[in-house]
Amino acid sequence: MTATATVQEEVFAPAFRRWVLLGMIVATSTLYSMTILVVSVVLPQVQGSLSATPDQVSWAMTANILGTAIVMPLSGWMAGRFGWRNVTLGALGGFCLSTLLCGLSNSLESLVIFRALQGGSGAPLVALTQAIALATFPRHQHNLVTAIYGMGVVIGPIFGPIYGGYLSELYNWRFAFFMIVPMGMAAWVGLWVMLQDGGRQERLRFAWTGFLALAVALACLQLILDRGQRLDWFASTEILIEATVGVIAFCIYLSHSLLARSPLLNLKFLLNRNYGLGLIIVTVYGMLNFTPMVMLPPLLKNLGGYPDSIIGILLAGRGAGGMLGFFLAAWVGKLDPRIGISAGFLVQAWSGWVMTGFNTDVTMAEVLVTSAAQGLAVGLIWVPLVLSSFSNIEPRNMAETFTIFHLLRNIGSSIFISLSVMTVVRTSASNFQRLTEFVNPFNEALKNYGVTALHGYANLAELAKLNAQLVDQAELIGFLNAFGLYTMMCLLVLPAVLLLKPPNRPTSA
């Protein structure tokens, strides 16, 4: 056992202190995860308040993701250089301040800048808090600790948009940010009292070349994913430039990581079989995690006619399923971790298959069941995946390896959301063209269903109604294709799960 791990066990030996610290850590991760999707609820209000176009206001989302992607690789180095306590308290304080400034913004430019600062300052919280939690508790309690911590990560994106949307309806969009500040300051005080220092490494040098190259590569990737659909992907000069710069920057980063004595992120960890496979699996996990939350609201609102309040309640079913899944994971963790991970992906595949049967008359019960099943799957997957991936990682390397782990989870989420949106847009257009081919006066099926607009083209109202129905059906097929892609990814990852090696079982001594 390393010296760092020994110090941590001595410092956090009292059980009461460990559990209170875990509560503060879970609250911190919950607050950060709440901001991931809370802005999506208030974007229409922001657009009207700041007189922005839809393309301009989307930068409020992009800036946050860019800030997170750029700063996330720094988390491991900052923890080794300044210690867990200083980095965590500084990151949480900066996160609260930038969140407050987001609510006080009077222009789109200032909002975009503060959203970037919010993502950048909060990025170290995800990797460091989980590394601290695992290093604080004995190994035989990691199963339960990971389950409790994971609930905060899952619950935040569920309840954040619900409360944010409710407050924005009562007051305005600024309160979606203001509601986070008091809770963040309370968590800061708790961590200031309970969190001890640790994780420092002597003579730790910072690889500026690797950091700048990786930051440019990640920024270009996120810009391509966010703006590609609006700019028609590689038909746009901007996308071509971003892709070229991103590839060159990534090649520089990869060369630096292989040749430098002190790389930014040490690639030697990829030689660890479980960790390498865990990175593949967590990338797919990230792909599937937030995609239904992005795809279901427009389907339910535009095609199903559901109000925003009901949509928020239906999505909250995912949080209820997630809590149940994390509690079950504490028991499933006693078994082979491949069982829990495989079961989770199979449950997700089942929910995706059910969603491929949705129509414009989809019921609340169907949506609630599928949302709860997806939350259950998230809980079943996360705990055994973390435990098996980090079973052979030393405590002093937790911060650095968790940084890569969460970075790939975020990248996977961005990639698949963009891919799903592209699937909906592209297939909706092509399906509309195919559906219109069957709309003509010679189609007996339309006559049997009472479509009279075709018998007299002067009836523009009925033609407009028929056109609206075709648009809805074409868009529905696009969503169903995206759900089919979701289901396929759930099944494709299973071979990688089966290649994992069961970790050695820790003793309770």
Long-range CB contacts for residues 429-434, cutoff 8 Å, separation at least 24? 429/474, 431/473, 431/474, 431/477, 431/478, 432/470, 432/471, 432/474
Q: What is the pTM of this model?
A: 0.77
Q: Report residue 395 as tokens.
A: 């405590």
Quote the pLDDT of residue 252.
92
Contact between 257 and 220 (Cβ < 8 Å):
no
**Alpha-carbon gap, residue 445 to 349, rounded angstroms:** 35
Q: Which of 183, 255, 258, 169 is nearest to 27 (CA)?
A: 183
Amino acid at site 299: L
Please, how many CA atoms are within 13 Å of residue 392, restricted to the half-sphere of its CB? Answer: 15
**The length of the chain, given as a count of residues:** 509
Q: Report residue 240 as tokens.
A: 């071509």
Quote the pLDDT of residue 204.
62
Q: Report residue 505 as tokens.
A: 């079982």
Angle between helix 59-71 and helix 208-227 axes, rounded to 10 deg? 150
Element (H, E) at 204: none
Quote the pLDDT of residue 225.
78
Quote the pLDDT of residue 31.
83
For residue 130, what are the contacts with CB-CB under 8 A and spacing of at least 6?
Answer: 25, 29, 146, 149, 386, 402, 406
Quote the pLDDT of residue 507.
45
Angle between helix 398-436 and helix 273-289 axes, rounded to 10 deg? 40
Quote the pLDDT of residue 1.
36
Q: How far is CA 377 from CA 263, 329, 341, in A?
A: 36, 10, 8
Matching residue, tokens 């269903």: 449
**Alpha-carbon gap, residue 58 to 412, rounded angstroms:** 20
Q: What is the CA radius of gyration of the chain?
A: 24
Quote the pLDDT of residue 271.
84
Q: Which of 435, 471, 370, 347 is nearest to 362 (CA)?
A: 370
**Alpha-carbon gap, residue 154 to 171, rounded angstroms:** 27
Quote the pLDDT of residue 471.
85
**Alpha-carbon gap, residue 113 to 98, rounded angstroms:** 9
Q: Which of 435, 443, 439, 445 is nearest to 462 (CA)?
A: 439
Amino acid at site 113: I
Element (H, E) at 275: helix 273-289
pLDDT tens for the chain, 509 residues long, are: 333 433 344 444 477 778 888 888 888 888 887 776 677 667 667 777 887 765 566 677 767 777 887 787 777 778 777 888 888 899 999 999 999 999 898 888 888 889 889 988 888 887 788 778 877 887 777 777 877 777 777 667 667 767 777 777 778 888 888 888 998 899 899 888 888 776 666 666 777 888 888 888 888 887 887 778 778 788 889 899 999 999 999 999 888 888 887 777 777 888 888 999 999 999 999 888 878 877 887 788 778 887 766 776 777 778 778 778 877 877 776 778 888 899 999 999 999 999 999 988 888 889 889 988 998 898 889 888 988 888 888 877 776 787 788 778 878 877 887 788 888 888 888 888 888 877 777 766 666 555 555 555 456 677 777 778 888 888 899 999 999 999 999 999 999 999 988 776 544 43
